[in-house]
Amino acid sequence: MAIIHLKPPQVRYRKQEEARPIGCRSAMADARILLVALVALFAFDRRLVHANFANDTVPSWGAQNVQISADGEGLTLTLNNQTGCRIDTVNRFMFGSIEMHIKLVAGNSAGTVTSYYMSSDGSAHDEIDFEFLGNSTGQPYIIHTNIYAQGMGNKEQQFYPWFDPTSSFHNYTIHWNPSEIVWFVDGTPIRVFRNYESFGIPYPSKQAMKAYSSIWNGEAWATEGGRVKIDWASAPFVAGYARLGLRACVWNDAQCVSTYPARTLTPDQRTQMANITGSYMIYDYCRDTSRFNGNMPPECSQPQD
C-alpha cells in the first residue's frame, strides 16, 4: 500500500552538534530523562537480561551476511544481490525496554529497508516496528513506525530524522508495558500507542515477542512508493548494530504481567514528543481520512500522549 506523505521530502540534515529539535535537551540530558523514567520500572523486574549478539541472538536467514564482532557487542547486516539477512533473539519477552544502536546504510540506499522490531508468531500476531526506509543520495531516510495487535496493523506513523542516521550510531528504543508503547530515538519519545482494550481496541498484552533486526529488499514500496528501485551497482548495503539492550522480562509465566507497573510520559517528555511530531512527522494514519473513507480507527479519537 502506498502511503501519502503529509510533507514533501525537502528536509536536509543539520550539523551533528545541532541535530536536535528546538525545545529538546542535549543527547546526554535526553538519555538521563529516559533513564529516570525507566528506573522505577526496572526496580520491579528481577530478571533483567544482559545482551550480547553472540549469546542472545541467532541468524534466521541470510546467515552468510551476518557478521558479529569478536566480543559479541557489534553486528553488521548486509544486503547484496543474493539475499538480505535477519537475526532473532533467543528468548521471548513480555514487557520491558528493548534498545538498539544503529548506523544506517550510507549513500544511495533507495529501495532498502533496515528494520528493528518485536513480534510474536502466527496470523493473529502482535508486532511493534521501527523500519528505516532508504533513499537516494542526499535525500533523507524515513523512520517508519507501525504496530500490529492481534494481527491488525495499518497504524503507521512516519518521520524524517533530525540528524544524519548514517554518520554515527543512534539509540532506537521500544518501550512496552501494560499501559502503553513508546518509541524513543536517542532518549526522545516520538510516538505513543496507549492501551484502550477497555474500549474494545486491540493492544499487545497477551503474546510474548522476540526482538528482530534485518535488512532486506523493499524496493516494491520503500522509496517513493516503489518508484525508485535499488541500484545494485551501489551494493553491498551494510547496516551497523551495537549495544543491544534487552531490559525486559524473559517470558515463561504470568509473572511478567504483574512485574511491570503502568506509567505515562512526563510533562517534559510530552513537550519533546510534540516538538518532534510538529516538525518531523510526515505521515499519520489518524489524519488520513481518505484512506479509511472517513471511518477512522477508534484509537484515533483517544489521547495518545
What is the mean pLDDT of the segment spanning 197-216?
96
Average pLDDT over every residue of 193-200: 96
- 42-76 pLDDT tens trace: 433 434 456 899 999 999 999 999 999 999 999 99
**Mean pLDDT confidence for 234-261:** 85
The Cα 213–Cα 227 span in angstroms is 25
d(CA 64, CA 85): 8
Average pLDDT over residues 282-298: 95
- pLDDT tens digits, 107-150: 999 999 999 999 999 989 999 999 999 999 889 999 999 999 99
Q: Spell out a b/e string for 236-275, using b for 16 or more CB atoms within 10 Å of the CB, else e.
A: ebbbbbbebbbbbbbbeeeebeebbeebebeeebeebbeb
What is the rounded average pLDDT for all residues in the chain? 86
Q: Name the β-bridge partners of 170.
A: 102
Percent with pLDDT over 70 in the chain: 81
- Going across the sheet that includes 85-89, the strands are 57-61, 85-89, 210-217, 112-119, 127-133, 142-148, 157-159, 281-284
Average pLDDT estimate for 172-177: 96
**Please, what is the end-to-end C-alpha distance for the chain in angstroms?**
27
pLDDT score of 51: 86
Please state the rounded mean pLDDT for residues 278-300. Answer: 96
Compute the distance between CA of residue 30 and CA of residue 19 in angstroms, rounded to an integer. Answer: 13
Other beta carbons within 10 angstroms of residue 77's beta carbon come to 26
Catalytic residues: 127, 131
Amino acid identity of residue 166, one-letter, is T
Residue given cell 548514517 in the structure block: 166
- Which pLDDT value is given to residue 25? 42
Q: Is the pLDDT of residue 286 over 50?
A: yes
- The yes-or-no verdict on residue 248 having pLDDT over 50 is yes
Residue 176 has pLDDT above 50, yes or no: yes
Q: Is the pLDDT at 259 greater than 90, yes or no?
A: no
pLDDT value at residue 49: 52
Res 204 pLDDT > 90: yes
What would the mean pLDDT of 7-18 be, rounded to a whole number?
Answer: 38
- State how far the Cα of 219 lies from the Cα of 228, in Å rounded to an integer: 7
